[in-house]
Structure 1
């Protein structure tokens, strides 16, 4: 059973990201402020849900949330910053997009780069513990999936419609055969062996 809040008396935003471990594409993050009385029996960590249920819940979250927003950091920015800092920046961009200012942030994971002077709490596996983080995980995941499906139409050889940029054997085999696309993260070990991606 997910918890409705960490601080009952504060306007609280949950934050999560998607795409951190991918070889290609942007990293996405979402921030969600849910009503204090929000209830949904299906709400859970996005990884525990079917694709159909994630998209159905996205509609519910967007309709019923007090505020929500999605932040994006490009592959070029990831290579420039490193993926950890890029993930924090994506969360900051999502928070920047909220129409309501949160008084407290609930962050999935164990690290975060402070967002101004807004207090935050990091929660390991928070997307399976708090409603607002679970909601953020669903938005981040579905919006990133939409983006990777669009990129797949341009570069079908990498099968991004199936692997969404994650390091599957087929994805790495396609990189080896066709070389990296403009959307691959050049600072990542694209081939999964000792050969660095920049040597391709």
Structure 2
């Protein structure tokens, strides 16, 4: 009988039970408020897990179709940092194994910083291969941001420690020796691209936090180089740094005023 147990004991007892377990059925007869709340919490948790599994399967649609064609190593490619006034543009390429599962995986922009950090570690641990490409501001100014983004993606692909046999790319089109698909908003439609978006985002954010120490006064640790109010005030008061993109307004305008 479970009615002679405390709520704490019941919580420990039901930690990993399935919804149809006889103990759960017995607990549903328990009229104590604490037990009722515990069961409701368990139901919400179960529904969230089922929803995550369902969403994850939707994100595997492209990969499953490609695997059925006989390909085994799909690289998802994505970039971050096209819009900021400072810092590099960073791209990542990630090859995930077929058995990989990460509930809640999604476009990095839809995740909190703590979740991105958590998922980054899980992706690094579980991926078959990861490659990162980084193009510095000076190069961005020289060849323009569009070409720099492509170059970062090519570098990420080159730096993969496991060579792919198929490529899924977020929005951009690349000329590679591998068959590929370009997917608009691919970071919210493909697990491989979503994983790449997280690796690229976390890599760049960590780098910008290091720059925040080197170049205080711009808020790089909070704005990642984007043109926020704090960043623009810093630009006006302190001038440009070596990581600012001189071809981007208002950096370019600041240079012209000087």
Give TM-score scaled by structure 2 length.
0.72
Match of 1:137 in 2: 197
Q: Is there any run of 5+ residues in structure 2 with no aligned partner, and where?
A: 1-54
* One of 208, 212, 216 as aligned partner of 1:148: 208
Match of 1:3 in 2: 59
Q: Which has the higher helix share?
A: 2
**Match status 1:175 vs 2:232:** no
The match for 1:113 is: 174
Q: Tell me how far apart the structure 1 counterparts of residues 106 and 129 of structure 2 sit (CA, whole Å).
A: 19
- The reply on whether 1:77 has 2:139 as its aligned counterpart is yes
Whole-angstrom distance in 2 between the partners of 1:83 and 1:112 = 15
Aligned partner of 1:88 in structure 2 is: 150
1:167 Cα offset (Å): 1.2
**Once the 2 structures are TM-superposed, how far is the Cα of residue 197 of structure 1 from its aligned partner?**
4.6
Tell me how large the CA RMSD over aligned residues is.
Answer: 1.4
Distance of 2:186 and 2:108 partners within structure 1: 11
Gaps of 5+ in 1: none
Any conservation in 1 of the 2:236–2:254 contact (CA below 8 Å)? no
The answer to whether 1:196 aligns with 2:253 is: yes
Matches within 5 A, 1:148-167: 148-167=208-227
User: TM-score, structure 1 length as denominator?
Assistant: 0.93
**Structure with the greater alpha carbon radius of gyration:** 2
What is the number of residues matched between the two proteins? Answer: 195
C-alpha separation between the residues in 2 aligned to 1:103 and 1:42? 26
CA distance in 1 between partners of 2:146 and 2:192 (Å): 21
Instruction: Indicate the SS of the match to 1:30.
Output: strand
Q: Which has the higher contact order (CA 8 A, sep 6+)?
A: 1
Of 52, 66, 72, which aligns to 2:114?
52
